[in-house]
Amino acid sequence: MKRALDVNDRKKVYLQLINIYRSSDKVDFVEDIFKKLCKKYHESLEIWSSYIEFLFEMRGKASGDQQFTEAKTILQRGLQALPKASHVNIISKFGMLEYKFGSPEHGRTMFEGIVTNYPKRMDIWAIYMDMEVKYGGGKANQAQTRHLFERCLSLPDISKKPKKMKLTFRKYMEFENALGNENKLAELRRRVEQYLEQAFEKEEEGDSEAEENASDKGGASSDGEEAESGSEEEEAEEEMAESKSDS
């Protein structure tokens, strides 16, 4: 073990050791290893996320003197230790685990907190929609799922971005298709066509205005270059959301 630690990335070796213990049902040592890793790699999102997932898996499995820390306690410690940039991801991970391990209402609460504070985060909306479709209650909870899709489609930060709307409409249509709702699918197709027509018209108007401004000013300004750069960043975020939701 010592030789392996000297030669390889220590974090990877310890995580591999944890996987070995878990696969052989020797979980008694796992939490102690996670505690040491969290102290040593306190800014590692991977470590905190893996620790929390382990605790979810151990819920209800403690026996005798074997007790595990509450997952929410570790979430709070993680939020104190992790950089602020990682907070949304660790909360999102916790929400996903609430859904997967049978507490969709708690999962919704976690995701609602994120999308309320970060309504532009399409990657989070995409995960939220996937969790609701897969674990939110299925046919018994169709109204809740449709409400989520409709909320996302109605948000200004989403509706003004064709790529975000495309992703939301696609997920919505997949949901209705799985339920065999032909009428709903037909209605969604009409809405997609209507949205695309409106988006095309706005794009043409924007192109006309840009041409007029360019001819008036005699060229692009540095502000225009910054705006173009910001647009590229938003497009990259949208592509990431689509990639995450498909994985």
Average pLDDT, stretch 141-152? 94
229 falls in which pLDDT band (50, 70, 90)? Answer: very low
Query: Average model confidence (pLDDT) for the chain?
Result: 84
Instruction: Give a yes or no: residue 21 inside a domain.
Output: no
Instruction: Give a yes or no: residue 240 inside a domain.
Output: yes
Range of the domain at 148: 119-247
238 falls in which pLDDT band (50, 70, 90)? Answer: low
Cα-based distances in Å from 169 to 58, 108, 156, 165: 37, 21, 15, 6
Q: How far is the C-alpha of 177 from the C-alpha of 90, rounded, in Å?
A: 32
Instruction: Give a yes or no: residue 111 inside a domain.
Output: no
Instruction: Give a yes or no: residue 219 inside a domain.
Output: yes
- Please report the pLDDT score of residue 51 as a whole number: 97
Instruction: Give a yes or no: residue 78 inside a domain.
Output: no
Instruction: Give a yes or no: residue 85 inside a domain.
Output: no
Give the closest residue to 176 by CA, choosing from 139, 205, 151.
139
- Please report the pLDDT score of residue 90 as a whole number: 98
Return the amino acid letter for 60: G
91 falls in which pLDDT band (50, 70, 90)? Answer: very high
Domain count, the chain: 1
Report pLDDT digits (tens) over 21-49.
988 888 888 999 999 999 999 999 999 99
Instruction: Give a yes or no: residue 224 inside a domain.
Output: yes
- Provide the token pair at 197: 């027509």
- Please report the pLDDT score of residue 211 as a whole number: 57
- Please report the pLDDT score of residue 213 as a whole number: 60
Instruction: Give a yes or no: residue 141 inside a domain.
Output: yes
- Please report the pLDDT score of residue 5 as a whole number: 53
The pLDDT > 70 percentage for the chain reads 76
